[in-house]
Amino acid sequence: RFYPQLNFSYSLGSQFVTNNIQDSDPFSTQLSNNLSNTLSFSLTIPIFDQFVDYYRVQQAKINYENAQLNLLQAKNTHRQNIKTIINDIMAARATLLANSKNVTAQEKAFEIAQKSFKEGLINITDFNVSKSRYVQAQINKVISTYDLKFRVKLLEFYTQENPYLTP
């Protein structure tokens, strides 16, 4: 609204009045006799409005720039989350590999402990410790397997097409 405005309007009207008197004019006659036309023009020239409109435009520009920066920040956060998840997947794979090797080692140790226990070379406490380590190794492998699966699904979620994040 920094520029002058020219407005134009036109109206056409009529009226009908009845008061139950026998001498009143008929409807069509009253409408044509009471026909009125109005044509108007107005010119508005903003001389000084205390810069309200100017400040509104400037505030709108600032709000737009803030929205653009917020979008950029959201995209960067999203990208950083994806990188973090990829690093977590690589760590989960290494953990799963280490836990798989540990299961194999603990299984062999448990087999040796079973043979030693049958031959009387170790007591029940050492046998139970070996068995407990083997079971714990299996549990850790299962946990790391599902941790890896979860992180892969999380990566799939973050990398799916999102219409709000595409430029």
CA 136 – CA 109 distance, rounded (Å):
13
Q: Is 44 helix (H, G, I), strand (E, B) or coil?
A: strand
Q: Model pTM? A: 0.61
- Better-scored residue on pLDDT, 60 or 12: 60
pLDDT digits (tens, 9 = 90+) for 120-159: 999 999 999 999 999 999 999 999 999 999 999 999 888 8
CA-wise closest residue to 127 among 137, 136, 118: 118
Q: What percent of the chain has pLDDT over 70?
A: 84
Which pLDDT belongs to residue 56?
A: 86
Helix (H) or strand (E) holding 9: strand 5-13
pLDDT digits (tens, 9 = 90+) for 23-79: 566 667 767 777 788 899 998 877 766 677 788 889 999 999 999 999 999 999 999
CA-wise closest residue to 35 among 17, 13, 18, 16: 13
